[in-house]
Chains A and B, each alone.
Chain A
Amino acid sequence: MRVPALRGLPAAALLLAACAAPADTPEWDPWQELNRGTFRFNERLDEYALEPAAEGWEAITSPGWRESVGHFADNLRFPLHLVNGLLQGRPADAGVATARFVVNTTLGLLGFFDPATPLGLDIRRADFGETLWRWGADEGPYLVLPFFGPSNPRDTAGLAGDSAIVGSVTPGGWAVLAIHVLITVNWRASNLDNIREAREASFDYYVAVRSAWLNDRRRDIGVMLPPEAPDSARPSPGEEDPYDVDAIIEN
């Protein structure tokens, strides 16, 4: 597989490693003013384009249909799971991803169904932002991207790397963009209520999204242990216990 754009990326990763977050800032957001502006832009875009499109899509599709499109999207991301799995030194995961792709593309009718999971081939996601993390790049400050939403410099570089991977295996152009838009609308349609609820229940929606995204992303790539890991919720020695009321209100 040809991955031309990857050659320059280790250098980018080294550069990013310089952006280490100061201690005690789990949500480091020095670009908040700019980020809030971009966030407002994205919200406006959602209000006028994405949400109405998602409502339309919801009206003409069944939950089963939307789930199938979700499987289709996962299947299309196979090149990312394969290449990044290999780049991260996880050949077994890359192998499972390949077997999944073969099974779901054939038996699963181009990926719209997921017969692989019941066969024990559960999804092994990998992306280039995660690869950069494994190579030692720091996360850097929180960064909201126009159109793409929450990110950070490392994952922004990851997005560029993943685009290069996808670009090297697909013809590109309008068809790819159209599929991406469809997948995004489909995802948004599956979350109409969730997002409405989150907006209504929050006191600062920007911060609620930032906090949730950073948590989710860190857990996803393994920076933070998943809650099912034996020691995930236990503070390490010297660290403040987030559930110690007396310590929490003093500091």
Chain B
Amino acid sequence: MSMRSSRTSSLVLVAALLAGGVAAPVAAQAAGEEPAPARSARAFAVQAIGDVTAILKDRTANQAARRARIEPLVERWLDAEVIAKLTLARNWKSFDPAQQQEFVLAFRKHLVLTYYRNVDRYAFERIDVYEDRAESKGDFTVRTRVVSPEAGDVLIDLRLRPTAGDWKAIDITIEGVSLVQNFRSQFQEVLSDGKPAQLLRSLREKNEATEAKYREAEAAEAAEAAPGRAPAGG
């Protein structure tokens, strides 16, 4: 509310840009029996950021086309099951296996939708990549700065984990606020006096509402692009 909380401005971007990284090619210790990734965390992040930047900067494509290209990329980058477990924490076990499966998919959908919306509306100039560092569990954190003279720079850290011979994102920290930690607090609250089924329902409803909103905006854009063909409201 007040200017005291002005630093909170960028951290209410609860989901935002995935970004690229620079890493010394340090051999990450692979978790368990997983094969070590063939490329560095840096290489993964650089490619991910390059792919998404190319799509976002291509304004010849309309919103629907950009979304159709970005969503599958993000789905592939996220380790949805690890994120689901980290955010549900001890509540994970109060979900039966079918509910766990549904949660993993629905929460991934939520993250992907939110991610898309945030990156597509955020006009950035470029993404600077700083050093990365090794973490526990063979993870690497890749630090980045989204440079936007208009909206202000945003610092984003990606936590990447070696998975099946490559890297997957298991957390995104925006201006020091970890998405995993933030959702964990929320889910703990929602599940403290609610059942897994209720959380799943609100997740489904949120996803449906968000997608409906996108489709509406995309249809409006398409109608605008072809004014002769579709009368207003048609």
Contacts and interface: CB of A to CB of B under 8 A. Distances in A.
Interface of A: 27, 42, 45-46, 50, 63, 67, 70, 73, 127, 147-151, 155, 159, 180, 183-184, 187, 190-191, 193-195, 197-198, 200-204, 207-213, 215-216, 219-220, 224, 226-228, 230, 233-235, 241-245, 248-251
Most chain A CB neighbours (cut-off 10 Å) among B9, B114, B175, B185: B185
Contact of B114 (A155, A194, A201, A245): A201
Given A215-B181, A249-B90, A243 B137 contact: yes
Most chain B CB neighbours (cut-off 10 Å) among A147, A207, A243, A249: A243
Chain A contact residues, majority secondary structure: helix
A45 B173 CA distance: 30
Given A190-B152, A203-B187, 4 more contacts: A63-B150, A149-B4, A187-B6, A224-B176
Contact of A235 (B89, B121, B136, B151): B136
Most chain B CB neighbours (cut-off 10 Å) among A42, A148, A213, A248: A248
A70 B141 CA distance: 31
How big is the B interface, by class? 35 or more
Most chain B CB neighbours (cut-off 10 Å) among A194, A195, A201, A215: A201
B143 A27 contact: no
A27 B181 CA distance: 11
27 contacts: A147-B2, A187-B6, A190-B152, A197-B114, A198-B14, A200-B206, A203-B186, A203-B187, A203-B199, A204-B186, A204-B189, A204-B190, A207-B186, A207-B188, A208-B182, A211-B181, A211-B185, A212-B8, A212-B182, A216-B5, A226-B176, A230-B133, A233-B141, A244-B137, A245-B82, A245-B86, A250-B90
B135 A243 contact: yes
B13 interface: yes
B80 interface: no
Contacts of A230: 133
Contact of B177 (A27, A127, A148, A215): A215
Nearest to A151: B4
A135 B13 CA distance: 33
Contacts, number: 160
B185 A198 contact: no
Interface in B169-187: 170-171, 173, 175-178, 180-183, 185-187
B11 interface: yes
Contact of B9 (A150, A190, A249): A190
